[in-house]
Structure 1
Amino acid sequence: MKLTRAIPLASLAAAGVVNAETITVATVNNNDMVIMQSLTEAFESAHADIEIDWVVLEENVLRQRLTTDIATDGGQFDVLTIGTYEAPIWAERGWLVPLDDLPDDYDVDDLLKPVRDGLSHDGTLYALPFYAESSMMFYRTDLFEEAGIEMSDQPTWQEVREWAGAIHDPENGVAGICLRGKPGWGENMAFLSTLVNTFGGRWFDEGWNPQLDSPAWQEAIQFYVDLMNDYGPSGASSNGFNENLAMFSRGKCGMWVDATSAAGKLFNPDESEVAGELGFAPAPVAETPKGAHWLWSWALAIPSSSDSPEAAQTFIAWATGQDYIELVGEREGWTSVPPGTRKSTYENENYQREAPFAGFVHEAINSADPTDSTLEPTPYQGVQFVGIPEFQSIGTQVGQTIAAALTGETSVEQALASAQRATERTMQRAGYLD
């Protein structure tokens, strides 16, 4: 989908501009980015010399398009929506413009340190956070009360299974629990990596040997498949973040473990049918609390191939600045502001008053530790991903095999054995293994 907003020639002439500079912005089709597009007019009014040409894509497609374009120096885009995974890897390869000359009023020091660090390479920012998130559990308080369930301060996955069974009501269109099933390294594997972490698993041992056929992986993925088959919605293998968000907001899920960024939409009664019956809790744990909740940021970066880096920087500084957050709060409501990026957001009295989840999310982001996310030691950093270039293809391939196990096309044991072999081949070709 492509949205283009053109400035009338009369307006340009009045501003003394003959030709506006067009920058192409590639972004993901989620709620926060849709709001950003809706406010484009505010940016263009203040910057009549810049036009925005939007390219909006589904998450998996966006990642494929951007990776191909930047790796081949294609130059299709001036602003990229990337994440904590890509930013340091692409920066190291020289694919991104360093953001070391931002205007003073941008206030880089206001950015939350874990988020800022995740988007940096050798101490330099290469992407500006549009919003950041950890993960948490959402649940229907009305269904819990009817079933006589009291939420734990720190829920366990075994408790979650018991609760899902108690509130599962398919005859009335309510699944006990909804979880990601759509394959992709940033879709089902983002969630499943945290699940595996809490069961004591890891992607690789200290010698970069894949661990996908380990007992911890077997136990975690079998638990997931059984839970979803018993108490999940039909067609779960097609559901990613957006699909589950839509179902939960319509009252179709009793519980959902996913991104903290969903809280604003779910607590907004104009967007959610369950806003008045919404509870939240920490992401569940199993054998260990390590790596139970992730750390992620959707951020805006400028590819080195851009022909308009100065205009691009003007846009991304606007879209991630304090004034933009104030603008969203005033126009869309404070539950809709981009969360997780700035200290000033969490110090804002309006946000504190209207977003009851604010302190909880702030703590979840600050406590996520990409350097210590597994029970046993690893050679990599990352909670829900492995910070190496090869992980994008590895994670997606593993996600496809696990989706096949979820649909019953193969067993969990067969799926993980296949994933293990494929990952070993990739790591050998990449030079990690002999």
Structure 2
Amino acid sequence: MKRERWVKGFAIIAAGIVCFSACSKKDEEKAEAASAEKIVLTVAARGGTHTDVIQAMKGEFEQKHNCTVNVLGFGADDLKQRAALDSINSKGVYDLVMIDDPVMPEFTENGVLQNLTAMGYKDDKDFVEKSAALGKSPYAKGDTYALPFTGNVQLFFYNESVLKESDSALPASWEDVLKTAKKIKSAGKAGYVIRGQQGNPIVSDFLPVLWAYGGNVFDENWNVIVDSPEAKKALKMYCDLFAAGANYEKNDIVASVANGNAGMALGWPSWFISSANAQAAYAAVPDRVSDSSAQNATGMIGNWMMGITANSTHKELALKLLTYLTGAEVQKAAVDKGGVPTRTSVFTDSVITAKYPYFSVIYEGTKNSVVRPRTPKWSAVENAFGIELSNVVSAGKSIDSGLADAKKAIEEIMKK
């Protein structure tokens, strides 16, 4: 019943947006038309460079296994909805799906993904430990349900010229970030740019600051602690950073830091970096409040995972494709196509790091990264938390009231 309600929820969300049955039929027709004799493996992937990588790398596998790999690219929300809705079918349209790592608990709990350990898969120690942990249920300790396809971790981006003009070095703490932001602001530019829109944007932007203060959304017993003293201090810092800068959406954040109209911001590497070229300087996210305070991991991990659907009719061949696409040799070849590694051997390859120096920063950031809370209710929690954060930052609500209301809303979500 629980899974039926979960799928029904997706159906309601999708209604009026996309006719899934018609699209699924078209997907099936595409897959069947690809070959009347060969096995066709259909991959539901995140559109963009992820799809480009699979398309570029699939040829050798198709030839070796006499099969066809059909790659379908979707937007993030569309991809999640399609995979969820298709999971109720006895025979799935998709054999492999890509999953944004915060969605992993939702998909494993609701039976969307095949248990790879049960199929005989043995964990590969070459994957960066923090990346491999995302594919396990329970997190980091249980069986493996997905493998890390694309590496990603939040970084601190800054304009070197703007910092130099303010006579500032790269900040090592959040107090240093604020001091530098105020200097830049006094010179007529945005010191620090926040991404303060409701929901995922502001939560993803705020959590690294919260973590630096030693705070979190839940404690180890899943008690909601967003109104803790640490959280209140972190939100005060976040509001002060906004006062010394601006609140922009993603594209404007990138443009403002790149062109020197702003000094600093958090972001994902794919925003600022294309191939070996970066539009701004980059470093790990500051991991302490002040020079004298304790260090805390702050870089948010955000890998794209890939798993086999529980209702795939070609699970064994799908597992071979999965291990092929996430293998070291394919990852090495894929970096020139826009791929980002998830394997230590690729991250530390001297030829690759010489060409793509930012990989070293992503690698170190990933090893010291923080995972978002592993609950299947994270999407709802994130939305509720983001509404109240935005109310404080942009609508003038007090920090105490905003965090108290966020706690109440999250507790209600977790009770359901």
Asked if TM exceeds 0.5, the reply is yes
Deviation per residue, 1:352-400 (Å, 9 max, x gap): 21233333332322233xxxxxxxxxxxxxx342222223311222112
1: distance between equivalents of 2:215 and 2:127? 32
Q: Among residues 297, 302, 308, which one is paired with 1:302 in the alignment? A: 308
Q: Does 1:132 align with 2:165?
A: no
Instruction: Determine the C-alpha separation between the residues in 1 that align with 2:57 and 2:346.
Output: 21
The AA in structure 1 aligned to 2:381 is I
1:91 aligns with 2:105: no
Structure 2 runs not aligned, ≥5 long = 1-17
Q: Which residue of structure 2 lines up, in the alignment, with residue 380 of structure 1?
A: none
* SS at 2:151 equivalent: strand
Is 2:274 the counterpart of 1:285?
no
Q: Are 1:36 and 2:53 an aligned pair?
A: yes
Mapped partners of 1:40, 1:184: distance in 2: 35
Match of 1:268 among 276, 298, 314: 276
**1:157 pairs with 2:144:** no
Quote the Cα distance in structure 1 between the aligned partners of 2:134 and 2:406: 28
Equivalent position SS for 2:303: strand
Q: Sort the Cα spacing of 1:62 and 1:166 in 2 relative to 1 into closer, same or farther, 3 A.
A: farther
1:338 paired residue number: 340
Which runs of 4 or more aligned residues in structure 1 lie more than 6 Å from their structure 2 counterparts after TM superposition? 1-9, 71-74, 101-104
TM-score by length of 2: 0.76
Structure 1: which amino acid aligns with 2:276? N
Amino acid at match of 1:268: A
Distance 1:99 1:314, change over 3 A: same
Report the equivalent of 2:163. Answer: 144
- 2:32 and 2:375 map into 1 onto residues whose CA distance is 46
TM-score where L is the length of structure 1? 0.73
Partner of 2:208: 194
State the secondary structure of the residue aligned to 1:177.
strand
Give the Å deviation of 1:420: 1.6
Cα distance change on mapping 1:43 and 1:412 into 2, 3 Å: farther
Partner residue, 2:349: 348
**2:215 and 2:231 in contact (8 A); partners too:** yes
Taking a change above 3 Å as real, the CA distance of residues 175 and 80 of structure 1, as seen in their structure-2 partners, is farther
Aligned-pair distance for 1:281? 4.2
Output the CA distance in 2 between the equivalents of 1:263 and 1:291: 22
CA distance in 2, matches of 1:418, 1:23: 47
Asked if 1:25 corresponds to 2:43, the answer is yes
Q: Give the Cα separation in 2 of the matches to 1:214 and 1:398.
A: 14
CA displacement 1:398-423 (0-9 Å, x = unmatched):
11232333332744443323212212
Aligned pairs (5 A) from 1:239-258 = 239-240=249-250, 244-245=253-254, 248-249=257-258, 253-258=262-267
Residue 60 of structure 1: CA displacement? Answer: 4.9
- SS of corresponding position for 1:344: helix
The reply on whether 1:420 has 2:407 as its aligned counterpart is yes
1:50 aligns with 2:68: yes
Point out where structure 1 has 5 or more consecutive residues left out of the alignment. Answer: 369-382, 430-434
Instruction: State the alpha-carbon separation in 2 of the partners of residues 118 and 181 from structure 1.
Output: 26
Aligned-pair Cα RMSD in Å: 3.9
CA shift for structure 1 position 144? 1.5
Decide whether the 8 Å contact of 1:249 with 1:273 is kept in 2: yes
1:175 aligns with 2:190: yes
What amino acid is aligned across from residue 180 of structure 1 in structure 2? R
- Aligned position for 2:135: 119
| Residue 396 to residue 24, structure 1, CA distance change in 2 (3 Å) | farther
**Count of matched residue positions in the alignment of Structure 1 and Structure 2:** 385
Distance in 2 (alpha carbons) for counterparts of 1:283 and 1:73: 48
Deviation at 1:320, TM superposition (A): 1.7
What is the percent sequence identity of the aligned residues?
A: 21
- Residue 323 of structure 2 corresponds to 317
2:104 partner amino acid: A
What do the CA deviations read for 1:164-201 (whole angstroms, capped 9, x no partner)?
Answer: 23334997xx632233334335x432332222122232
